[in-house]
Amino acid sequence: MFSKLSDDEFKKFAKLIHEMSGIFLKDSKSTLLSNRLRKRLIEKKIDSFDDYYRYLETSKDMDEITEMLNAVSTNETYFFRNIKHFDTLFDSIIPELISKRRLPVTIWSAGCSSGEEPYTLCMIAKEKGLLNKGLIKIDASDINTSVINEAKSGIYDEKRLRSTDKYYEDKYFKRTATGLFKLDQEIIDYVNFFKLNLITDKVDKKYDIILCRNVMIYFDRDDQKKVVAKFYESLNNDSYFFVGHSESLYFIDTRFEYKKVLDSPVYYKK
Ligand SMILES: C[S@@+](CC[C@H](N)C(=O)[O-])C[C@H]1O[C@@H](n2cnc3c(N)ncnc32)[C@H](O)[C@@H]1O
């Protein structure tokens, strides 16, 4: 058994995690952090948080740093989360971009967790006949390699389908022998997943639509500002940016223009 993280240890880990990922942990997250780090100590057969911290600092073992960040990030997500955004995209924004012949329409789900968000886009695009004609391209990234692997496996428990219509469930998922749901392989293959750290990595593509929903809530204001500026640069002109329904860029000085499109708040780059 390991003791709880001391205040000093918590501060050191919180600082390291913040520098590496932008994830900002309030003091109240000490128990959560010690529970999550404990798994790494067991895996690495290291006896104390202090030794683990020293190991991370001195070894510069990038694989272990990745595993540590995998253990501490919060990955809650589900299919068809905030359906209004998808209605706005498919009933207004995407048809408008297609009518301007901006083809293919390029979409990036940034902080995609285990893939439910890009796969929701992909299933709806399939329903609208956009996949076969190659009218849409979907990229999806996360800092956490373990959720990216989950996404690529396409296997989900029923909690993740809690907002999924029976129509989509029956058409795009097969029940496995263990009662899980396996997503249709065509949908899995269509989405291009990659690891990307929004704080430290460069983005070398331009998109027409970026979704970064329920990700920046874990960052402090300075990092939010930097990441929003990065998104702005990663969009073409006449393009759109979506944040989660409880998020806003209200306190961030940004060049985006705020718009309501079919009841969804969106950020527009002229
Ligand atoms: C709560 S999930 C959101 C998933 C999905 N976008 C949604 O709204 O349902 C937040 C995701 O952000 C990822 N994340 C956190 N910090 C990140 C960073 N610096 N770069 C990229 N992804 C990050 C986490 O690994 C996690 O999978």
How does pLDDT run across 215-266, given as a tens digit for each residue? 999 999 999 999 999 999 999 999 999 999 999 998 888 899 999 999 999 9
Band (119; pLDDT cuts 50, 70, 90): very high
User: Would you say residue 267 has pLDDT above 90?
Assistant: yes
DSSP string computed for 195-212 = E--TTT------EEEEEE
Looking at residue 136, its pLDDT comes to 97
User: Would you say residue 42 has pLDDT above 70?
Assistant: yes
- Side by side, which strands form the sheet with 207-212? 191-195, 136-142, 105-110, 207-212, 235-243, 264-269, 257-261
d(CA 251, CA 92): 27
Tell me, yes or no, whether 66 and 172 share the same domain: no
Which of 85, 121, 142, 164 has most ligand 1 atoms within 8 Å of CB, for mutation? 142
| 77 inside domain | no
Looking at residue 132, its pLDDT comes to 83
Cβ of residue 151 lying under 6 Å from some atom of ligand 1: no
Final residue belonging to a domain, choices 44, 72, 100: 72
Looking at residue 1, its pLDDT comes to 64
Ligand 1 atom closest to 116 (CA): 9
Tell me, yes or no, whether 247 and 219 share the same domain: yes
The residue whose CA has the least distance to atom 13 of ligand 1 is 111
CA of 142 to the centre of ligand 1 (A): 6
Note if the bond before 95 is cis, omega within 30 degrees.
no
36 is catalytic: yes
Tell me, yes or no, whether 48 and 135 share the same domain: no
CB 99 within 8 A of CB 173: no
CA of 101 to the centre of ligand 1 (A): 31
How does pLDDT run across 78-112, given as a tens digit for each residue? 999 999 999 999 999 999 999 998 899 999 999 99
Tell me, yes or no, whether 255 and 213 share the same domain: yes
**Average pLDDT for residues 182-199, to the nearest whole number?**
98
Tell me, yes or no, whether 96 and 225 share the same domain: yes
142 is catalytic: yes
Tell me, yes or no, whether 183 and 59 share the same domain: no
Hey, what are 37's tokens? 């780090």
Which of the pair, 2 or 48, is modelled with greater confidence? 48
- What separation in angstroms does the CA of 213 have from each of 72, 108, 123, 216, 220? 18, 11, 18, 7, 15
Average of per-residue pLDDT values in the chain = 96
Q: What CATH number does residue 22 fall under?
A: 1.10.155.10
Q: Is the dihedral of CA 212, 83, 154, 158 positive or negative?
A: positive
**Average pLDDT for residues 14-28, to the nearest whole number?**
95
**Average pLDDT for residues 30-40, to the nearest whole number?**
94
Tell me, yes or no, whether 146 and 259 share the same domain: yes
Tell me, yes or no, whether 64 and 136 share the same domain: no
Tell me, yes or no, whether 55 and 176 share the same domain: no
Looking at residue 144, its pLDDT comes to 97
Give the domain extent around 44. 7-72
Cβ of residue 150 lying under 6 Å from some atom of ligand 1: no
Cβ of residue 147 lying under 6 Å from some atom of ligand 1: yes
pTM here is 0.96
User: Would you say residue 2 has pLDDT above 80?
Assistant: no
Tell me, yes or no, whether 246 and 123 share the same domain: yes
Residue of 127, 61, 67 whose CA lies nearest to 94: 127
Q: What CATH number does residue 259 fall under?
A: 3.40.50.150
The tally of domains found in the chain comes to 2
Ligand 1 atom closest to 70 (CA): 25
- The residue annotated as part of the active site, out of 40, 139, 142, 223, is 142
